[in-house]
Amino acid sequence: MAMSGAHVAIIVLNYNGWENTRDCLESVMALEYAGLSLFVVDNGSRDGEAGKIDRWLSGVSESREEMGAVGLDECRAVAYTGARGSTGAEAERRRKWAFLLANGVNRGFTRGNNMAIELAFSRVDPDYVMLLNNDVVLKPDSLAILAAFARGSREIGSVQPRILRKGASGVVDSLGQAVYRNGRAKDMGQGERDPGPFGNVEIFGTCAAAALYNAGALKDAGLLDERFFIILEDVDLAWRLRLCGYTSYCVSSAVAYHNRGISGTKRFWESIDLVRSYNQNKNHLLVVLKYYPLEAIFNFLYLNIFRFAAALISGACLGRNPFAPFGGIMKERRKLRQQYPAIEAVRRRWLQ
């Protein structure tokens, strides 16, 4: 029996990963939760993958309507009405149940998800937003468990399930995020044996591979920082949620399976290694310069210089200006300190 309650907008971003995306969408269809809307973003995939998603959504919906251009150039939107098999109150909740945003180019994890969040806020006004990687499969009861716990307190900004490795029996992918004084961020438990359910544990932040966010908290803290493009964008959001007074939890009785990796690596000559190196090093620096105490920045100055050098080299190879994302970063840092006096307490508690 499908459970309902708070309305949840589930967002799935596809980039050259149709096979994984299909498995993910099928797991969404199997969720024991009626009060949801689905937003799928195709980020300029090749081989007609946006069309494959369109046909799949049409096949599980009662009707389809072209919405035309939405927001940015080269982006078209399609709305799907009524999930097939829905009856009664469930059918009414899913009347405008799914949307497809098809980008002409890859706008990154951050902008792709933000476009869908903005559309969700304007069209369905959800209580919660779930970011779901296309290579994640949810257990049928997972969303009901997460939503029930999240509704227990207004202070809860985000929750995540116990995320296990897909295809690797009994191996943890993420039990939540931890942050360290050297600027490192880590998914706790990664690669370790699955401990099984261990209750509901407060964590620094949630892994955006499968994270349920309070919509009001997102409006307070702001959406994903689009300077990040990919990698550590969820860590940055976790900092802002903390500064706004929200908490995050791992709800271990809910389970998801993740085939970890970045989409789009099918062809050797389109290797994403440079993209990963550029964004990983640039984004570590952005997080450190925005939120970390000066003492930690200088104690690990050698590491931060290395990160900048790596971002400089990989960015130059990609034709990027590595200085552009850091424009005004110190002014932003001062503003955060003035706006959120709690930043010192957050640092003391969570920087390991």
Domain-embedded: residue 263: no
pLDDT grade for 44, boundaries at 50, 70 and 90: very high
DSSP annotation of 196: -
CB 285 within 8 A of CB 308: yes
Domain stops at, among 206, 230, 258: 258
Same-domain pairing of 49 and 87: yes
Of 173, 128, 161, whose CA–CA distance to 254 is shortest? 161
Q: What's the pLDDT tens digit per position in 95-139?
A: 568 999 999 999 999 999 999 999 999 999 999 999 999 999 999
What percentage of residues in the chain have a pLDDT greater than 90? 83
The sign of the CA dihedral 312, 314, 317, 318 is negative
pLDDT of residue 85: 61
Tell which wins on pLDDT, 318 or 261.
318
What is residue 82's predicted lDDT score, i.e. its pLDDT? 82
Supply 93's token pair.
Answer: 């909740």
When pLDDT is cut at 50, 70 and 90, the band that residue 265 belongs to is very low
d(CA 168, CA 258): 10
Residue 265 lies in a domain: no
Residues 71 and 96 in one domain: yes
Q: What confidence score (pLDDT) does residue 86 get?
A: 60
Q: Is residue 236 part of a domain?
A: yes
Is 264 a member of any domain? no
Burial class of residue 38 (count of CB atoms within 10 Å of its CB; 0-12, 13-18, 19+):
buried
Whether residues 103 and 241 fall in one domain: yes
Residues 167 and 205 in one domain: yes
Name the average pLDDT for the chain: 91
- Assign 204 to helix, strand or coil: coil
Asked if residue 14 is part of any domain, the answer here is: yes
Residue type for 210, please? A
**319 and 216 both lie in a single domain:** no
- Domain that includes residue 89, residue range: 8-258
Number of domains observed in the structure of the chain: 2
Q: What is the pLDDT of residue 125?
A: 95
Identify the pLDDT of residue 154.
95
pLDDT at residue 90 greater than cutoff 60? no
Q: How far apart are the first and last CA of the chain?
A: 43
CA pair distance 321, 316, nearest whole angstrom = 7
Q: Which of 205, 232, 258 is the last residue of a domain?
A: 258
pLDDT for res 68: 72
Q: Give the model confidence (pLDDT) of 45-62 as tens digits.
A: 999 999 999 999 999 999
Which residues is 10 bridged to in the sheet? 38, 130
Q: Is the pLDDT of residue 332 over 70?
A: yes
Residue 333 forms part of a structural domain: yes
User: If pLDDT is split at 50, 70 and 90, which confidence band does 88 have?
Assistant: low
Please give the Cα distance from 214 to 127 (Å, whole number): 6
The tokens for 137 are 């499969």
Mean pLDDT computed over 38-47: 96
